Structure 1
Amino acid sequence: MQTTVFDQLGETVYHETLPNGLAVYLVPKEGFSKTYAVFTTRYGSIDSHFRLKNGEEINVPDGIAHFLEHKMFEKKELDVMHEFSKNGASCNAFTSFNRTAYLFSCTDKLDRNINLLLDYVQEPYFTEASVEKEKGIIGQEITMYDDNPDWKVYMNLLKAMYQKFPINIEIAGTIESISHITKDNLYQCYETFYHPANMVLLVVGSFQPETVMKWVRDNQSAKDFPPAPRIERIFPEEPAGVAKSRVEANLTVGLPKCLIGFKEKTNGLTGKDLLKRELTTKLVLDIAFGNSSALYQKWYDSGLITESFDFDYSGETDYGYSIIGGDTPDPDKLVTELQAGIRGLIQSGIHQQDFERAKRKKIGLFLRSLNSVEFIANQFTSYKFNGSELFSVVPTLESITREDVEARMKEHFVFEQMSVSIVRSASPQE
């Protein structure tokens, strides 16, 4: 078992890659009452086109990763959620664009819960009848999201920005796409993407690392796994420009919702370079639009934005974009003023004082977040899959200069790669 000590943060990470390829990371937090465990596969909604070891190309229906997540909880003679509850644990799962995670939190019986987590995720059980039944359940979920204004304005923005890359496809798919999912599809995707070598187990909380690692070793050594499959994902080449510069929809909302997105080419960055780009971009956004910025104060004081106004950046090896916006009485004015504000900031440059304040704020927020096992559990694996390290955030932030931020601002804010998504309230006649 390898040990990595992050002296600056007072954190220690224990790591071991088991013979079957499973990467196990343990982050003990002395004095904490709650423990989190997350079992994650590098498999998400964008992974619908891939090539098998024999050269065969496979296209599966959209939404199958999310569908598979749902079906993993169904067993022939076991109620997974009830078992976790009996052990005093709360369990959950989620599917994103590029990963699927199964998790639990508990204050007791950690050994039972870890074994249960590993066992139910590594023992698939699908029948044609249960698959057909699940289509109706997930169909209702899809309909619910279609009627959710916050989700609608977000997904419409991704569809506007991306022409071909599958991030423009709903994570849950459509009612039409999931109607084509079969039991064989599910087993094929499971066998391809749920091999231990494509997965990470993270445990964070109050425990003895040697004891927990032994539990995991014993659990995995009792199981037989085939050789790890070679996973070759196939993605379409994404053009530089956006699919649409503007998209609007009508739903029942009090105020219109407006999101503005900037899409960028990622150039296949990984590891430290990818982490630095992410953190530099987030500094840019905070300096330009954070609640202490001149633009935010001007817009808020005039009533152009509400407290819902926010921003974020998603930077992965295969895609990257920022999103800015929220509720506003005048979406067109917000778009115009945002563009003018960006041009003005690029022209004037960033004041050293504003840069230093934003960096101190970012470091402070991150350090406080390390007091949350939920935060560590949700972020750790995401960074690992990108070849970087959650506990490298602070030294990376410290290395970023004002010149880095100014260069990144000019690189990222390209108006030809900007899209706008608006959701307005339907008019009475509609």
Structure 2
Amino acid sequence: MLNKQTYAQLGEAVYRTTLSNGLQVILVPKAGFHKTFAIMTTDYGSIDNVFVPRGQTAAVRFPDGIAHFLEHKLFEKKDHDAFDLFGQFGASSNAFTSFTQTSYLFATTNHLHENLDILLDFVQDPYFTSATVNKEKGIIGQEIQMYDDDPGWQSYFGMIGNLYPKEPLSIDIAGTVDSIDQITADDLYAAYRTFYHPSNMSLVLTGKLDPEQTLDWIETNQARKTFTPSAPIQRIASPATQPDQVIRQTTRHLSVTRPKVSLGIRGFDTVPTGRAALTYSVAVSLIFDLLFNDTSDNYLRLYDANVIDDSFGYDFQVQRGAHFGQLAGDTDQPELFVSEFQTILADVFTQLKAAEPQFDLVKREAIGRLIGAINSPEAIANQYSGPLFGGTMLFDELTVLEDLRFEDLLPVAHAFWDHSVQTVATILPEGLRND
């Protein structure tokens, strides 16, 4: 049975249920849309490299990059490739792995039933052999080497590595050429059996769909399959990096024409759980908007001084077990870039109070972006939080944002910045020294 949650002000409705095998199903019909977007996600990502395999009692450390490797291999079957099946029914398909999740998706304007069966069937039918695994190592190895030469990627992961030097978050999601060379078919099956049980997964569909009919298709598909009973997943977390272990500054030289700087801010406060975590994330993101968006005093001053340009950007992320912000951009004055932003962050509460007159405008701009995202089935499905924010949707994020007042930001700002540590990762052109 579907449970309906209505967002009357937005004219939207979300239908939810959990199947008998544990699979969470979330359906969001969009009137007037011709496209349907579907995404199937497991709560398993690159940081989950030490766990107790299903059916065993001892923890095992698996090679870095195994979650991403498994994502690649799941499309390939003994006698076909799932990509080809989607193509036969007019759908575009893809997949991605993050620090904490792996997702498989398709978009289509027709043959929804057939494409939905393809998605469910290929994700729930693993096929790995030594030969196919070894073949994939060369393909993923080339991908890793490509990103090794990507300055933007290296700047970002340089920052992450500084903030989390002793934790899996510091390791590239794809692993290394050496680590993936250690992966075996048995490793992939062990990871699959542990994390790909329906009870650890969600299926979200948005766009052109009939909720009752779509649920019937899903239930019929699942009824054809036998799943073992669900069991608790035992992830073994690495010892957390302490504030004094954060690496404060690193510099690399790559083939770039201009220096790239990434300044990271790691929070050491405790993020609340469930919907309160969503409120926390929205509040800190709004603070970043107030301090650094392209209408802020800080941005305009530094832009006029040629310290930053249109490449400048910022971000705040809450992951399972981690949260951090980033300020990054290309600059001809990397030392000044760092000193200016460190000065701002050292006086963040004075800066925040000075920005109070812009609060309503910045909040309306953020609301406008979310309203725009609500018209995208992809955005709605991709921003489903799963267990991280208590299963909230994009619509809930908009409600949280609308309810936020300026005075609500101050305790959140203190929680994050009073317990934060900064780092700087700089990419310099080859031959250029900053000493």
Q: TM-score range by the shorter chain?
A: over 0.9
1:239 aligns with 2:232: no
**Structure 1 residue 239, shift from structure 2 partner:** 3.1
CA drift of 1:164 comes to 2.2
Mapping for residues 307-322 of structure 1, pairs under 5 Å: 307-322=310-325
Match of 2:13 in 1: 12
1:126 aligns with 2:131: no
Match of 1:174 in 2: 176
SS at match of 1:417: strand
1:81 paired to 2:83: yes
Counterpart amino acid of 1:320? H
Deviation at 1:229, TM superposition (A): 2.5
For residues 273 and 371 of structure 1, the distance between their equivalents in structure 2, rounded to whole angstroms, comes to 25
Compute the displacement of 1:383 (Å): 4.7
Q: After alignment, is 172-181 or 2-11 more displaced?
A: 2-11
1:183-206 Cα distance to aligned partner (Å, 9 max, x none): 100000000000011000001011
Match of 1:359 in 2: 363
Question: In the alignment, is residue 106 of structure 1 matched against residue 108 of structure 2?
Answer: yes
CA-to-aligned-CA distance 1:211-230 (integer Å, 9 cap, x gap): 11100000001100011131
Preserved contact between residue 36 and residue 207 of structure 2 (Cα < 8 Å): yes
Mapped partners of 1:169, 1:428: distance in 2: 27
3-state DSSP class of the match of 1:374? helix
Partner of 2:285: 282
Kept in 1, the 8 Å contact 2:303–2:309? The answer is yes
Query: Counterpart of 1:72?
Result: 74
- 1:299-338 mapped onto 2 (5 Å cutoff): 299-338=302-341
Taking only the aligned residue pairs, the percentage that are identical comes to 40
CA distance in structure 1 between the partners assigned to 2:47 and 2:269 by the alignment? 16
Counterpart of 1:396, as a letter, is V
**SS of 1:189's equivalent?**
helix
Offset of 1:54 from its aligned partner? 4.5
Q: Deviations over 1:137-196 (max 9, x none)?
A: 111111000000000000010100113221111100011111110010000000000001
User: Conserved in 1, the CA contact under 8 Å of 2:269 and 2:416?
Assistant: no
Task: Show the counterpart of 1:34.
Answer: 35
The whole-number CA distance in structure 2 between the counterparts of 1:243 and 1:351 is 30
Aligned partners of 1:118 and 1:424: how far apart in 2?
Answer: 46
Length-normalised TM-score, structure 1: 0.96
Partners of 2:269 and 2:416 in 1: how far apart?
A: 11
Deviates more, 1:50-59 or 1:60-69: 50-59
Distance in 2, matches of 1:345 and 1:175, equals: 41
Matched, 1:372 2:376: yes
- The count of aligned residue pairs is 428
Cα RMSD between the aligned structures?
1.7
- SS of structure 2 residue aligned to 1:389: coil
Contact 1:256–1:329 (CA<8 Å) still a contact in 2?
Answer: yes
**Aligned-partner residue type, residue 154 of structure 1:** Y
Which one of 213, 225, 232 corresponds to residue 215 of structure 2? 213
Q: Which sits farther off after the overlay, 197-206 or 397-406?
A: 397-406
- Which amino acid in structure 1 is aligned with residue 313 of structure 2? D
Q: What is the Cα deviation at residue 3 of structure 1?
A: 0.9
Distance 1:371 1:384 in 2: 24
In the aligned structure 1, how far is the partner of 2:269 from the partner of 2:52? Answer: 23
Aligned partners of 1:81, 1:230: CA distance in 2, in Å?
Answer: 32
| Aligned equivalent of 1:183, options 182, 185, 204 | 185
Alignment-derived partner of residue 297 in structure 2 = 294
CA contact (8 A) 1:288 1:295 kept: yes
Moved more, 408-417 or 190-199: 408-417
Query: Please, what TM-score do these two structures have when normalized by structure 2?
Result: 0.95
Question: Higher mean Cα deviation, 415-424 or 332-341?
Answer: 415-424
Q: Distance in 1 between matches of 2:362 and 2:167?
A: 33
Structure 1 contact 300–306 (Cα < 8 Å) conserved: yes
1:260 aligns with 2:229: no
User: Does residue 190 of structure 2 align to residue 149 of structure 1?
Assistant: no
Q: Check the 8 A contact 1:262/1:418 in 2, yes or no.
A: yes
User: What is the aligned partner in structure 2 of residue 419 from structure 1?
Assistant: 423
3-state SS of 1:395 partner? helix
Distance (whole Å) between structure 1 residues aligned to residue 432 and residue 16 of structure 2 = 60
Deviations 1:289-329 (A, max 9, x none): 00000110011112111111111111134110001121111
CA contact (8 A) 2:274 2:388 kept: no
- Asked if the contact 2:194–2:233 (Cα under 8 Å) also holds between the matched residues in 1, the reply is yes
Corresponding residue SS for 1:324: strand
Q: Return 271-280 or 344-353, whichever deviates more.
A: 344-353
**CA separation of 1:11 and 1:150: change in aligned 2, threshold 3 A:** same
CA contact (8 A) 1:240 1:417 kept: no
Question: How far did 1:411 drift?
Answer: 3.4
Following superposition, the deviation at residue 266 of structure 1 comes to 5.0
Query: Per-residue displacement from partner, 1:20-78 (whole Å, max 9, x unpaired)?
Result: 11111100001011110001100000001112465311211100000000000111112
| Cα contact 1:313–1:321 (8 A) shared by 2 | yes
- Say if 1:30 and 1:295 are closer, same or farther in 2 by CA, change over 3 A: same
Equivalent residues of 1:93, 1:102 under 8 A apart? yes
Tell me what 2:203 maps to: 201
How far has the Cα of 1:331 moved from its partner?
1.3
Distance (whole Å) between structure 1 residues aligned to residue 356 and residue 326 of structure 2: 25
Alignment check: 8 A CA contact 1:25 1:202 kept: yes
CA contact (8 A) 1:270 1:317 kept: no
Change (3 A) 1:352 1:388: farther
Gaps of 5+ in 2: none
What code does the residue aligned with 1:417 have? V
Contact 1:350 1:406 in 2 (8 A): no
SS of the equivalent of 1:355 reads helix
